[in-house]
Chain A
Amino acid sequence: MNNVIEIKNLTKKYDNFTLGPIDLELPRGTIIGLIGENGAGKTTLLKCILNIISESSGNVKIFNQDKNKNFEDIGIVLDNSFFPEILTAKNINSILKNIYKNWDTKLFNDYLKEFAIPLDKPLKTLSCGMHKKLEIITALSHHPKLLILDEPTSGLDPVVRHEILDLFMNFIQNEENSILLSTHITSDLEHIADKIVFINDGKIIFNEDSPTLLNNYGILKCPKEDFSKLDKKDIISIKKNKYNMDVLIKDLVQNKKKYKDFVIDKITLEDLMVLMIKGEKIC
């Protein structure tokens, strides 16, 4: 069993939005990053996986079992959903040691020290960054094998974000642990994700290996008057700027040879996301 999560034909229907059908696999030892704009369906997908909401159809297996059977080995960070704000980190330890069999008080306290999070202060007095860090170390302190994280680095400054990303990288070092995370901060995924899954309007637009993805797509910059020189079949979408155009192209290596007179930049996930969603389609 190499897949930690297996999702088949998952759909979730609301009156004004439908997620799916989604097919997705999270192989053991890998990090998958979910990207997409607000309301694309990332959180809905994660909530379906975690049984917080029920799917309209389809099937989700975690550790090769029905999804609601084994939450012991999953560490979770949800967007804006945690312990009541008048509780303290000390309270959280006291509560969770009676909930998770593998809860590790020493590890939790070590993390608190490492990230300078006070033990006795109510959560409401912590800064946004500290609060998020506490959520993450809480998710890590029962030695999970899988992390499911919804926007785990939002609200964190770049330094802390890198500390957190290092934590995630350490977490998967044993090649047994896996992470599924959604984020708006796409640059984080460029550092750590093995695979990128792009969701738009409830559908998976692509699901590709991160390095392949970043090496495969490019942005061709061309003056508006030169646009007609481009072969339409090479163009995925365009964005018109004041003086030139950004053209999203695939097959970067081949197209670099084909369009030697144009500047073609490597793409970032953010550019890719913007051009996929907001870019004008040619055909």
Chain B
Amino acid sequence: MLGLVKKDLLLTVSNAKSLIIIFVLYFFMAFYGEFDVSIIPSILGVMLVISTFSYDYQSKWDSYASTFPKGRKYVPLAKYIATFILMLGLTIITLIFSLLITYIKHEPFEVTTLLSMVVASLASFIFEAIMYPIIFKFGVEKARIAIFVFVFAFIFLINFLVMQTNMLSNLSPILTFIGNYYYIVLPLIGILALVISYIISVKIYMKKEF
């Protein structure tokens, strides 16, 4: 399984040239205050992970990987672990960048930057948790449409519930609780979402034919 994780990380490193360009661009935008540095890891993380799925799709990797020893069940697990490592790495790099910016600008480093970075990463975990089973089910090409439909339906549903029901006022104690303890609640939600997502992905992947 370590080999499978390595494969995704090596794919990302092989893609480093475009990664560096995007990073430098974001860095300058953040430096001139045009961009919130805290969302860099989540945006880049999602982009990079999607690109590993695209490379897999182009080379029909899943057929090949499902013949590896110990069977195919480790392929989705490796993707989740690689995502986690990638996000962690990007968060650390962004943190260093962020410190660098504050140092150059002679500004104090805000702890809230770190916290919002963690929150943004966890939000992307939730997005990935939704996205991965869809990609494993439909493939990366068809999944783009499926994700769009899913996100649209989700927003519509939430909007409908908020407008037509008293959901928001009913949920306000919960929202207040999340607001107060977001640094504990959000990581838990993120991890829980990934675990549930992984269980669904494995079930899909084990039945899938390539």
Contact = CB atoms under 8 A, between A and B. Distances in A.
User: Which of A72, A81, A101 has most chain B Cβ within 10 Å?
Assistant: A81
A162 to B, nearest CB: 26
User: Which of A50, A54, A82, A99 has most chain B Cβ within 10 Å?
Assistant: A99
A283 interface: no
A81 B61 contact: yes
Contact of A78 (B10, B64, B207): B64
A85 B58 contact: yes
A122 B59 CA distance: 13
A7 interface: no
Contacts of B210: 47, 52-53, 81
Interface string A66-97: 00101110101010111111111001001111
B55 A81 contact: no
Contacts of B15: 86
A63 interface: no
Interface string B191-208: 000000000000000010
B51 to A, nearest CB: 10
B89 to A, nearest CB: 18
Interface in B34-69: 52, 55-56, 58-61, 63-64, 66-69
B107 interface: no
Given A52-B209, A76-B64, A87 B69 contact: no
B7 interface: yes
A85 B68 CA distance: 19
A54 B61 CA distance: 18
A180 B69 CA distance: 19
Contact of A122 (B14, B52, B209): B14
B11 interface: yes
A54 B209 contact: yes
A81 B63 contact: yes
A100 B72 CA distance: 14
A98 interface: yes
Given A87-B7, A87-B11, A99-B3, A52 B71 contact: no
Contacts of A98: 2-3, 6
A244 B96 CA distance: 82
A86 B209 contact: no
Interface size grouping (class) on chain B: 20 to 34
Contacts of A71: 67-71
B60 A81 contact: yes
Nearest to A100: B69
Given A53-B209, A81-B60, A81-B61, A91 B67 contact: no
B99 interface: no
A64 interface: no
B126 to A, nearest CB: 27
A84 B59 contact: yes
B209 A87 contact: no
Contacts of A91: 7, 10, 14
A9 B33 CA distance: 68
A51 interface: yes
B14 A52 contact: no
B209 A83 contact: no
B6 A50 contact: no
B95 interface: no
Contacts of B67: 50-52, 71, 74, 76, 78
A76 B60 CA distance: 14
A94 B55 contact: no
A223 B209 CA distance: 51
Nearest to A138: B64
B4 interface: yes
Contact of A97 (B3, B56, B59, B60): B3
B69 A81 contact: no
16 contacts: A50-B66, A51-B72, A52-B63, A53-B210, A71-B67, A71-B69, A78-B67, A83-B64, A91-B10, A91-B14, A95-B6, A96-B3, A99-B69, A100-B68, A101-B69, A122-B14
Given A71-B70, A76-B64, A81-B61, 16 more contacts: A51-B71, A52-B66, A52-B209, A71-B67, A71-B68, A71-B69, A82-B59, A84-B11, A84-B55, A85-B59, A86-B15, A87-B7, A91-B10, A95-B7, A98-B3, A100-B69
Q: Which 3 A-B pairs have the closest CB atoms?
A: A98-B3, A99-B3, A84-B55
